[in-house]
Each structure stands twice: as C-alpha cells, then as structure tokens.
Copies of this chain bind each other. A is one copy, B any other.
Amino acid sequence: MEKYKKIGIKLTPQRLAILDFLDGNKDHPSAEEIYREVSKRFPTMSFATVYNTLEALAERGNILELTIDPHKKRFDPNTELHHHLICTKCKRIEDVHTHFELAVPGMHRKGFEVTGNHVAFYGICPACSHRT
C-alpha cells in the first residue's frame, strides 16, 4: 500500500501484512496475537520479524507500546493522544478519547521535564460481570 511509504522502513510482504493487521485495529493486540494472525497468511513468519517490525514502528512513532497490561506489552496503532479503560479480569482494552487537563503541580515535579501522560481506567467489562 502507498499509505505506508512515509513510515520510512523497507516494505516487505511480511511487514505489509503486519501493517494491514494493525491498520485501524482497536483491540490493542499483543505481539503474540499479531503473530498468530499474520502467520496465517505467512506460515513461515518468525516471531523475530514481528518484534523487529513493532520496534521499528514504535521508534518512528507509528504505533505505541502500552504498559498497562501487567502480563505483556500491547500495541496501539492509534497514536492520537488518548486514554484507556481496561477490564481487570480479561484485560480487554477500550479507548477513551477524552481530553483531560492534567498537570503535575510544581511541588511534585521534582525537577522532571514532563513530556506526557496517560490515564488508565480500571473496571469490569460487561462480558466479565455477567459470568459471575
């Protein structure tokens, strides 16, 4: 696809498949989920390729690495500033596209140069609250 050109990495079939899987994906998939899906089309796909590609994309700001699921990294192709709501049972992650006015008061800033913030909301999703 032409729309991936500007990323600045060499586009290979494997990478296009990864990019297509990520494009518009709102599930915040893990490396394993990406691997599972993409290796359907490319059965020789290696895990290393998934990680290498994700790292290259993250470095260039095309995806975000989320540190919100305690068991693994999850990746977000939506790099707009937004926040997340995570189900503490099944780890499903939903977007929260709301802007909050957040600033660290000087007394707590400890001389840090603050570059960003992220709000993690925790809760129980409907599916998890139904099955007791």
- What CA separation (Å) do A96 and B69 show in the bound complex? 21
State whether the Cβ of A88 lies closer than 8 Å to any Cβ in chain B: yes
Q: Are B98 and A100 in contact (CB under 8 A)?
A: no
Number of A positions contacting B (CB below 8 A): 38
> A124's closest neighbor in chain B, by CB?
B113
Given contacts A70-B65, A124-B115, contact A100 B100 (CB under 8 A): yes
The reply on A132 being an interface residue by CB < 8 A is no
Contact B110 A125 (CB under 8 A): yes
Q: Which residue of B lies closest to A65 (CB)?
A: B70
Q: Within 8 Å of chain B (Cβ to Cβ): is A31?
A: no
Give which listed residue, B67, B111, B116, contacts A121 with CB less than 8 A: B116
Can you name the residue of chain B whose Cβ is closest to the Cβ of A70? B67
Q: How far is the CA of A111 from the CA of B85 in the complex (A)?
A: 11
